Amino acid sequence: MSAELHRRRVLNFLDAFYGGDTEAALKCCDDDIESMVYLPVELFPHLGPRRGKAAISELMDVHDARYSSRRFEIKFLVVDAERAAGIIDVSFTKRTDGRVLTMPSGLFLTLRRGLITELRSFFDTIDMIAQLTGRDLVGPLLREAGPALRPPELPPSSSGTRANKI
Amino acid sequence: MTEHSLWRFSRALHRAINERQPADLEALLDDDVDWAIYGPVDMFQFFGSRRGKAAVIEVIRQIADNVRVHRFDRESIMLGVDSASSMMRYSLTALDSNKPISVRIAHFAQFRAGRLTNFRVLVDTFDLVEQTVGYPIHLPRMAV
Angle at A9 between CA A7 and CA A15, to 5 degrees: 105
Q: What is the DSSP letter of B98?
A: T
CB A121 within 8 A of CB A86: no
pLDDT, averaged across chain A: 85
Among A78, A124, A137, the residue with its CB nearest the CB of B80 is A78
Domain that holds residue A106: 3-139
User: Residue A159: inside a domain, yes or no?
Assistant: no
pLDDT digits (tens, 9 = 90+) for A95-113: 999 999 999 999 999 999 9
- Residues recorded for chain B: 144
User: Residue A34: inside a domain, yes or no?
Assistant: yes
User: Residue A23: inside a domain, yes or no?
Assistant: yes
Per-residue model confidence (pLDDT) at position A46: 73
Among candidates B144, B134, B103, which has minimal Cα distance to A42?
B144
Asked whether residue A156 carries a pLDDT value surpassing 60, the answer given is no
Per-residue model confidence (pLDDT) at position A152: 46
Among candidates A105, A123, A4, A79, which has minimal Cα distance to B83?
A79
User: Residue A162: inside a domain, yes or no?
Assistant: no
| A26 pLDDT tier (thresholds 50, 70, 90) | very high
pLDDT digits (tens, 9 = 90+) for A42-95: 778 777 889 999 999 999 999 999 999 999 999 999 998 899 999 999 999 999
Per-residue model confidence (pLDDT) at position A45: 76
Asked whether residue A164 carries a pLDDT value surpassing 80, the answer given is no
Instruction: Write the CATH number for A108.
Output: 3.10.450.50
Among candidates A72, A65, A55, which has minimal Cα distance to A14?
A72
User: Residue A64: inside a domain, yes or no?
Assistant: yes
Judging contacts by C-beta atoms under 8 Å, the chain B residues touching residue A148 are 96
Asked whether residue A117 carries a pLDDT value surpassing 50, the answer given is yes
CB B44 within 8 A of CB A164: yes
Residues sharing a CB contact under 8 Å with residue A48, sequence separation 6 or more, in sequence order = A36, A37, A41
CA distance A29 to chain B (A): 19
Residues A38, B124: C-beta atoms closer than 8 Å: yes
Residues of chain B with pLDDT under 50: 143-144
Average pLDDT on A15-30 reads 97
User: Residue A53: inside a domain, yes or no?
Assistant: yes
Per-residue model confidence (pLDDT) at position A48: 81
User: Residue A147: inside a domain, yes or no?
Assistant: no
Asked whether residue A144 carries a pLDDT value surpassing 70, the answer given is yes
Query: What is this model's ipTM?
Result: 0.86
pLDDT digits (tens, 9 = 90+) for B98-123: 899 999 999 999 999 999 999 999 99
Per-residue model confidence (pLDDT) at position B134: 85
Residues A166, B44: C-beta atoms closer than 8 Å: yes
Asked whether residue A150 carries a pLDDT value surpassing 70, the answer given is no
CB A14 within 8 A of CB A74: yes
CA distance B95 to chain A (A): 8
| Cα–Cα distance for residue pair A56/A43, rounded to 1 Å | 18
CB A63 within 8 A of CB A20: yes
CA distance B138 to chain A (A): 9
User: Residue A101: inside a domain, yes or no?
Assistant: yes
Asked whether residue A165 carries a pLDDT value surpassing 80, the answer given is no
Per-residue model confidence (pLDDT) at position B20: 94
Q: What is the DSSP letter of A148?
A: G
User: How many folded domains does chain A comprise?
Assistant: 1
Three-state DSSP class for B81? coil
